[in-house]
Structure 1
Amino acid sequence: MKRNALAMSLAKAMFCLTVLPASLVATAQEQSPDGAAAAEPKQLETIVVQGEITYRNRTDDIAPVLAYDLEYFQRFEPNTVGDMLKRVPGVTFVGSDIMEFDGAMMRGMAAGYTQVLINGKKVPGAGDDRSFWVDRIPAEMVDHIEILRSNSANRSGDAIAGTINIVLRDAYVFDGSYLRIGVNRWDDGEINPTFGAVTSGAALGGRFLAGINVQDRYRAKTKRSDRFTDPSMAERVSWEDQEEVKDGRDYSGNVSYTADIGDTSRFSLDAFYVKTDRDVTEVSHEVEYDDEDVIESRVPGLNPIDQKNWGVGAEYRFDMAGGTTELDLDYARFEDDSAESEEKHEYVNGEWDASEAEAQAVRADDAETSFKLAHKRPVGNAELELGVDYRRKKRDIAYTNFVWEAENEGDAVVYELDGTIESLIEETRVDPYVMLSGRGGKFSWEAGLRYEMTQSDIRYGEDGEVDGSESKDYNELLPSVHLKWDVSADTRISLSLAKSIKRPNFNELIPAVLDGEFGDNDYIGNPLLEPETANGIDLGFERRLGKHGVVGVNFFYRDVKNLIELANTGEWSEDAQDTYEEDLEEFLEENPGSTADDFEFNPESWLFTSANVGDGKVYGVEFDLSTPLTSFGLPNTGVFLNYSYLDSKVTDFLGERRFNDQAKNVYNVGFIQDLPSVGASFGATYRKQGDAFSRILGEEVTVKYGDDLEVFVEKRFGTTISLRLTAANLLDASKDEFFNKFDNEADQIDRDFDEYELETEEAGPSYQLVMRWAF
C-alpha cells in the first residue's frame, strides 16, 4: 500500500483541479487546444517537390531538443528510420550488419540505454534489451524526428543515453496526396520495387490522413573469418567463407484522425502497423586444421522472420478549470513467429564423417497498455503540469529447440524436440509526476519530479512445466531541471540536470540455465537485479546563422549507478560438471584406494549470470552545423556537419575500459547544391564511425566500420513531380571484427588464448531510383 501512496495523492490532487466549478474555466482563446496558435495544414506537394533546402529545426523547447523534418533527409531517399538516424549527431550503430541500421545507440551506449518513442509513446520491440529496432519503421511514415538529449518529468525516465521520438504524419498537419514509386538495384544485380502513398484532407467532421508503404528489403553480403591460435597469427587453425542473403518484404501503414470539438477541445486517433516478412539464408564453407587432418564442413542456414508491430492510440484534450486536461489511451503490440536452423556436414580428409543440425523456433508476444491523465494550468507567471502515467506490460516468449544427427551420409534431416524454455514477464508501472515551467524575458526554466514505481512478476519453465516465479518491486524518484538563456535573438545557452533509469534486459531476469551461451560457459538470469540509474548533465550552446542556418555544441555527462554486467557465479558449467564426473571415475579406477578428495580438477567453463557490479561514467561532446552558404554568396548551397566525441569509464575484472560497444566517435559531413534555374539538385553525405570495443568474461571484441558515402541527383518537373537517383555505400565499406577468445577468466587474465579470430563482411554499393508525384 505504501508504494502507491504518492501516486494516489497526486492523482487525487489533479482530479480536484480538473473538476473545479465551471465558473473557473477561463475564456477560450482563439488557439488550438494544445496552446499553439492555429496554423494552416502543410501542403504535401511541398514534401514531394522541395523548392528550398531543408535544415535542422531550431525548437523553442526548454529541454534540449533537436528536431529534423523528413525533408531534411528526403533527398537521399532513406528507406527506414534507421537510414535517417545515421545522419543525426551522436547516434551510432554497433552490431548492425553492414548497410543496416537497426539498434540505435545514442552517445554510443548500448541500444537498451536509448528510449525510442513513436508519437511520444513507448512501444514494445524485438530486443531483449528493451530496445526498438528503428529499421522497422519506413521513412515515408515520418513527419519529423526529435532527439531529446535529457529527460523531463512528463516522459518516461528510461533514457540514460537520451530519447528518439519518431513523430508520424498527422492529419492536422498535412493536406493533399502523393505517390512514391521506386526501384532498388543491389550489388549482385538483384532488383526490388518500393511503393508508398499518402493522402490527407477534410473528412468525417475533422481531418484524416492515411499512408501505406510496401518495400522489398534485400541485402546480400559475403563474410570471411580466419582463426588463429593467438594474435601473432603465426598459426591459422581454421577459416570460413560465408554468403548471406536477406530477402523479404515490409508492409506498413498508418492512419490519423483529428477533430476539433467546440472551440477548446480536440479528439485525435492514430494507428500504425508494420509487418516484416523476410528469409535469411546463408551457406558457409569451413576448413579446420587438426594435426595432419583437414576437416571441411558445409554449413547451410535458414532464418525465416515473421514479425509484426502495431499500435493504436486515442487522445482527448479539453479546456477546463483554467487550464487544459489531457486523456491518453494507448495499446501497442509486438509479435514474433520466427525460426532459425543450421546444418553442418563434416568431411575429414575428403571422407564424410558426420552430419548434424540444430533449430530453434521463437514465439513472442509483447503487449503494452498505457493510460495518461494530465492537467496544465497557469500558476502566476508559470505553468503547472500534474499527471500520472499508468503502464502495463506483458511479455510472453517461448524458445523451442530441435536437434538432428545423421547415421549415414545423405540421411534426410528429421528434427527431434530438444526442449522448450518459456517465460512470462509482467510489469505494472504507476508514474505520477509534477512539473513547473516558466518563460519570461531572456530566461526560461522547467523543473519537475517523476516517481516511477515498478512491480515486476516473472514466471518461467521448461518443457511445459512451471519451474518457478519471482517478483521484484522497485521505486525511483527522478528529478529534472532545465534552464535556457536567450543571450540574444540568435544565441542561446541551455543547462539540463536530470536523473534517468535503465531497467534490466528481459533475458537477464529469467533464471533458466542456457547451455553454452558464452562459448563453453553457461548462463542463468538474475530476477533480483536492481535497475541502473544515472545522474546526467547537458550543457549546450546554439546560435542561429542567418535565416535558416544553425550551429550547436553540447557537452554531456552521465554518472551511472548499479551497472549491470556479466559475472561468474563460481559454479561449474554443466559441461564442466560432466567432465569432472567422467574424469573422477577414470581417476578412481586407475588409483585404487583413492577418494574424490585426492582428485584435482580445474574446470574450463563456468556458470555466468548478470549482476550489479558497480558504477560507470559516460561523457563527451556533440557538435552540429546545418546552414546555407549565403554569407559566401552561395544561397543555394547547403552544408551539414556533425561530430560527436564519445568516451566512458567502467572498471571490470581486468581493469578500466570504456562501456561495451561504445564507438570512440562518429561524424557526418555533406552538402546539397540546388539548381533552381533548371529545377535540379545534387548532393553527397559522408559518414564515419569510430572503433568500438567490448569485454566480457571469456571474450573481447573490437569492431570497425568502413567509410560510408552516399550521393543523389534530383530533377523536378513543375511543382508536382520529382525524380531522384541515389547511390549508397559507394566506398564498399566493410565491417571488421577482431575476437580474442579465452576458455575461462583465469586464462583471460593470463592472456592464454583459446583462439584469435578476424572476421570481415561486405555488401557492395546499392542504387535507388524514385519518382514522387503529388496530386
Structure 2
Amino acid sequence: MKLGLLLGAALAPLAFAGAVCAQDATPAGEYGGEPVQIEDVIVNGEIVFRNRTTDDNPVLSYDLEYFQRFEPVSVGEMLKRVPGVTFTSDVLEFDGVSMRGLPPGYTSILINGRRAPGGEDDGAFFVDRIPAELVERIEIIRSPRADQPSDGVAGAINIVLKEGAQLEGGSVRAGALINEDGEVRGAGSLTWAGNTENTSLWAALNYQGRRNPKQKRSERYDDDPANGGELDNIELQDDTRDGVDMSANAEFTTRFDNGRLRFNGLVIDTDRDEDETSVTYVDDGSGSFTEIDGVEIQQERISQQTYALGMDGAFDVGPGELDFKLGWTGFRDDTTATTFEGDNFQDPDLALVEDEETLEITDDELDFGGAYTLQTGNVEVKFGADFLNKQRDGVGAEGVDYAIEENRFEPYVRVSGEIGATVRFDAGLRYESSEREVTGDLGTVESDASDFFPSAHLTWSPTQADQFRASYARTQRRPNFSYLAPIFQDEEPADEDGLRGNPLLESEKANGFDVGYERRIGTRGIFGVNVFYREIEDLIEVVDTGLEVNEDGETPAPGDDVFNLFEPRNIGDGTTWGIEFDFSSPLDVIGLPDTGLFFNYTWMDSEVTDPWTGDKRPFRNQPQNVYNVGFIHTVNSWDMSFGASIYGRDEGYESGMDELVKVEYDQDLEAFIEKRFGDRVVVRLSAMNLLDKEKRETFWKYDGDSVEEILDNRANGDIDEFELESERSGVLYQVTLRAAF
C-alpha cells in the first residue's frame, strides 16, 4: 500500500509523457552536452574533484561521484566532507546542518532550487532523510543572487536531484549495513534514465534500512568535582534508533524548437522507532555504585513524509527568454512518545508516567514564479517575481498548538554582465512583502511585513587559472513557529514564570560579505580560500516583559496563581566571521596522477550578548574550527580503488537560562575499498566511525523557583547539579554491489 502511494506521487510527472514530449537543463544552468552513460558514473576508476563553477555568485559544486566511493547513506553523510559544515547531533547522526557553525535554522535547505519545509520548530530540514542515491550534485551557496531565496544567513545548500537529460541507462544497487553488534539492515535501489531526440526521462526507487545503537553514560555530582563535588548517581542508557526510509523520484522533460518543459516529483517516507532504556545506580553503601535507584523506558514512534511536485519551463519569447515554475511541497509528521518508570525492571508498578505525547505537523507550500531575461551586448537583465503560500498546522507537547498561514510576494531585478575581458559583475534587488495569520489558544493575530534584500557580486579573472571574488547580500532567518503562536505556557522558562508567543515577531536580518580567491591546479585540481563576515540584527531572544499574568496568560485576579510573563522579541544583534580553505587535486606534481587528495578547513568565531547573563559569547554550539582531510588512490592494473577520510571539529558551548553545556566530539574516520568487474559492476566495502568516536557533554546546571533566582545562583556559581555525559555507537560497516544495465 505504502509503496503504491510512493510510486503514485513520485511518478506523477510521467503521466504527462503521453501528452507532451520533455526537457534538458539542470536547475543551476542549461545542460548542453550528450547524456553520460550511467556505467561511466557507477563503474569509474577516475577520481572526481570539486567542480569548477562559473556562477556569478560564490558557489561550491560537488557531483555525487565526489562522495559516492565512501557510500554515504544520505545527504547528511555527504555534507560532512564539504567546507564549513558541521553537525551537533548524536554519534552517527547527520541531520540538522550547522553551516559556518550557526544553528540549523540559519541555513537554507533547497531541493532543486526550491525551499524544503522541515519538521523542526526553527524550520530546519533534516538532510539525513534525503537518500544520497537520488542526488546529482550538492551546491554550497555562500551568498545568494537576487533571483534566489533570501533565506539563509549562514548560506544555502541546494540539493540537485538526478535527471534524465544528464544520464542514459539503468542501474541497480544492493547493500547491507552492519552494526558492530552484528545487526544487519538492507538497502537497495533501482534507477533508469532514457533520452530521445527531444525528450528525457528519469525514474528511481530507493529503500534504505538504518539502525544506530548508542550507549550513553551519565555521571551526576552535587557540585563541580573541581570544587569538591561528590558523585550522586550514575545512569546507563541504551538508545537505539531503528528505521526505514523509502523514496521515489521521477523527472520528465521535453524540448521544443524555442524552449523546454520539465515535470518532476519526489516522495520520501520515513518510519523510525527510537527506544531508550535507562537505569540509574546509586551508592550501595560501600562506595560502589551498583544499587538500582530506578529505571525508565522511553518509546518514540516517528512517521514522516516529504512530498514535492513541480513543473518549470523556459521559452524564447520576443527578444528574450521567459521562464516559469510551479510547485508544491508538503511535509507530514506524526510522532508519539511514551515513557514508563519504575524502581526496577521487575517492578509490578512499572507503568506509564503520563499521557502519551503526540506531535502532529502538516506543512504545505505552494509556489509560483516567472521571469523574463533580456541580453543586450555584454549586459543581461532579468526581472521576475515569486509567490508563495505557506500553511502549517502544529500540535505538540507543552500546549504548543497553532496554525500559520503566510503569503509572500517577492519581485526582483538582476543585472549581470562583463567589464572588459576579465571582470564580471552581478547586482540585484529582491523585495519581499508578506502577510501572516497565526492562530493559537489566545486567538488569531494578523500581521504584515516588507523589506528589501540587495545583493552584489564581482568576479575578476586575471588569468584562466585565477579568480578573485567579492560579494555582498542581505539575507534573513525567520522566527521559530512556536514563538509566533499566540499561546501561553505556564511554568516556562521556570516554575514561577509563563511564556507567551509573539505573532508580531520579525525575521532576523543580516548583512553578509564574502571575499575569496580560487586557483585552478592543472586540468582537474582546485584550491580556494574565502573570508566571510555576517552582521545580524533583530536577533530573537526570550525576555522578561515585567508584567504579571495568571495561568491563562491574562491579568491576574485576587486568588489567582501569578506568573512573571516572558515573551520572545527582536532585541539583539550579533556578528560572526571566519575563513574557509578547500583543496582537491590529483598529485600529478609528485608523479601520483592516480592519487587524489582532499582537504578543507574552516576557522570561525562570533559574538552575541547572552540574553540571560548579559555576557558576550559565541553563537550556540559554534566550534572554532571544523575540518576534513582524505585521499583516494586507484590501482588501474587491478581495477581497484581505496581511500580514507577523517572529519573533526573542536568544542562548542550551549548557554541556556538554567544551564551551560560544553559539547565535544572525537574525530570521525571512514574508509572504503572497491573492486570493479568489467565496465558495469563494482563491489565496495566501506566503514564509518572507525575510531569509535565519543561525544562528550559537560553540564553545569542551576536551579531556582524563578528566572531571577536561577540567574542569581548562576552569577554566584551556586551549581545545583554537575553532569558528565558520554555517548558511543560503534563502527558501521557497509557492503554494496552496484551494476549498470
Fold similarity call, TM over 0.5: yes
1:83 to 69, 77, 83: 77
Q: Which runs of 5+ in 2 are unaligned?
A: 1-23, 704-709
Partner residue, 1:644: 602
Is 1:751 matched up with 2:709? no
Counterpart secondary structure, 1:112: helix
Q: Which stretch shifts more, 647-656 or 728-737? A: 647-656
Q: Please tell me the root mean square deviation across aligned C-alpha atoms, in Å.
A: 2.8
Change (3 A) 1:753 1:570: farther
Encode CA deviations 1:682-740: one digit per residue, 9 max, x unaligned: 00000101111121211211111111000100100111000100011010011111112
Amino acid at match of 1:63: N
One of 450, 454, 470 as aligned partner of 2:434: 454
CA contact (8 A) 1:32 1:264 kept: no
Q: Is the 8 A contact 2:45 2:641 kept in 1?
A: no
2:390 matched residue in structure 1: 393
CA distance in 2, matches of 1:742, 1:295: 26
Give the distance between the partners of 1:556 and 1:725, measured in 2 at CA.
38
Matches within 5 A, 1:330-409: 330-346=327-343, 356-399=353-396
Deviation at 1:240, TM superposition (A): 1.2
Match of 1:770 in 2: 736
1:327 counterpart = 2:324: yes
Give the CA deviation at 1:456: 1.3
Does structure 1 residue 539 correspond to structure 2 residue 510?
A: no
Secondary structure of the structure 2 residue equivalent to 1:663: coil
Tell me the alpha carbon deviations over residues 112-168 of structure 1, each in whole angstroms, 9 at most, x when there is no partner: 000000000112111110111100100000000000000110011011100000000
Aligned partner of 2:241 in structure 1 is 246
Which among 469, 480, 485 is matched to residue 510 of structure 1? Answer: 485
Equivalent of 2:655 in 695, 707, 712: 695
**Structure 1 pair 431–485 and aligned structure 2 pair: CA distance change class (3 A):** same
Larger-gyration structure (1/2) = 1
| Partner in structure 2 of residue 414 of structure 1 | none
- Aligned: 1:45 with 2:39: yes
Q: What is the percentage of aligned positions where both structures have the same residue?
A: 41
Give the equivalent residue in structure 2 for 1:593.
none
Moved more, 246-255 or 693-702: 693-702
What's 2:413 paired with? 434
Q: Deviations over 1:508-548 (max 9, x none)?
A: 11132334555646533222222110111000000001110
Contact 2:27–2:160, Cα closer than 8 Å, also in 1:
no
Map 1:154-553; keep pairs closer than 5 Å. Answer: 154-202=147-195, 206-232=199-225, 234-261=229-256, 263-287=257-281, 296-346=293-343, 356-399=353-396, 421-439=400-418, 440-461=420-441, 467-516=442-491, 518=493, 520=495, 522-553=498-529
Once the two structures are superposed, what CA deviation does each residue of 1:579-599 show, in whole Å capped at 9, x if it has no partner? x99xx99xxxxxxxxxx9xxx
The residue aligned with 1:565 is: 541
Contact 2:333 2:359 in 1 (8 A): yes
Residue 238 of structure 1 and its aligned partner are, at CA, apart by: 2.7
Corresponding residue SS for 1:552: strand
1:82 counterpart SS class: helix
Query: C-alpha distance in 2, partners of 1:738/1:206?
Result: 58
* Worse-superposed segment, 272-281 or 194-203: 194-203
Change (3 A) 1:100 1:339: same
CA drift of 1:750 comes to 2.0
Count of residues in Structure 1 that have an aligned counterpart in Structure 2: 700
Q: 1:447-486 CA distances to partner (integer Å, 9 max, x unpaired)? A: 000001111110012xxxxx31112211110110000000
SS at match of 2:229: coil
Q: Contact 2:414/2:426 (CA < 8 Å) preserved in 1? A: yes
Q: Distance in 2 between matches of 1:654 and 1:353?
A: 44
Contact kept? 1:33, 1:317, Cα under 8 Å: no
SS state at 1:452 partner = strand
Cα gap change, 1:335 to 1:760, in 2 (>3 Å): same
User: What SS does the aligned partner of 2:354 have?
Assistant: strand
CA contact (8 A) 1:433 1:448 kept: yes
CA distance in 2, matches of 1:255, 1:398: 32
Give the CA deviation at 1:58: 1.0
Q: Do the aligned partners of residues 203 and 300 (structure 1) sit closer, same or farther apart at CA in structure 2, a change above 3 Å counting?
A: farther
Instruction: Assess, with a 3 A threshold, how the Cα gap between structure 1 residues 211 and 223 changes in structure 2: closer, same or farther.
Output: same
What residue is the counterpart of 1:6 in the other structure? none
The one-letter code of the counterpart of 1:90 is: G
Deviation at 1:434, TM superposition (A): 0.2
Deviation string, structure 1 residues 192-248 (Cα, Å, up to 9, x no partner): 110011100036961110011001011100111111122236222332111011111
Does the 8 A contact of 1:33 with 1:319 survive in 2?
Answer: no
SS at match of 2:712: helix
Q: What secondary structure is seen at the aligned counterpart in 1 of 2:353?
A: strand
237-246 vs 423-432, which moves further? 237-246
- How far did 1:298 drift? 1.1
Aligned letter for 1:442? T
Report 1:564-643 matches (<5 A): 564-570=540-546, 607-643=565-601
Q: How does 1:12-23 map to 2 (within 5 A)?
A: none
User: How far apart are 1:351 and its partner, in Å?
Assistant: 11
Where in structure 2 are the equivalents of 1:66-145 lying within 5 Å? 66-94=60-88, 96-145=89-138
> How far apart, CA to CA, are the structure 2 residues paired with 1:731 and 1:218?
18
CA displacement, residues 39-95 of structure 1 (integer Å, 9 cap, x when unaligned): 10111111111131000001011100000000000000000000000100000101x
SS in 2 for 1:248: strand
Amino acid at match of 1:424: A
Contact 2:25 2:165 in 1 (8 A): no
- CA separation of 1:36 and 1:245: change in aligned 2, threshold 3 A: closer
Query: In structure 1, how many angstroms separate the alpha carbons of the residues matched to 2:84 and 2:491?
Result: 35
The residue type equivalent to 2:61 in the other structure is: A
What does residue 152 of structure 1 align with?
145
Structure 1 stretch displaced more, 632-641 or 529-538: 529-538
2:683 aligned partner: 723
For the residue of structure 2 that corresponds to 1:746, the secondary structure is helix
| Structure 1 residues 241 and 158: alpha-carbon distance in aligned structure 2, compared to 1, 3 A threshold | same
One-letter code aligned to 1:568: D
8 Å Cα contact 1:347/1:354 also seen in 2: no
Measure how far apart 1:606 and its partner are. Answer: 5.6
Distance in structure 2 (CA, Å) of the matches to 1:35 and 1:182 = 33
- Distance apart, 1:741 and its partner CA: 1.5
Amino acid at match of 1:723: V
CA contact (8 A) 1:116 1:164 kept: yes
Q: Counterpart of 1:77 in 2: which secondary structure?
A: coil
Per the alignment, residue 19 of structure 1 pairs with none
Determine the C-alpha separation between the residues in 2 that align with 1:443 and 1:746: 58
Instruction: Summarize the Cα distance change of 1:341–1:34 in structure 2 as closer, same or farther, 3 Å threshold.
Output: closer
CA contact (8 A) 1:32 1:38 kept: no
1:696–1:183 Cα change, 3 Å = same
- Of stretches 710-719 and 506-515 in structure 1, the one that deviates more from structure 2 is 506-515
- Per-residue Cα deviation, 1:628-667 (whole angstroms, up to 9, x for no partner): 0000000000000000001000112331100112121100
The secondary structure found in structure 2 opposite 1:662 is: coil
Tell me, in whole angstroms, the C-alpha distance in 2 between the residues paired with 1:55 and 1:498. Answer: 28
Tell me which residue corresponds to 2:49: 55
Residue aligned with 1:697, SS: coil
Asked if structure 2 preserves the Cα contact closer than 8 Å seen for 1:250 and 1:277, the reply is yes
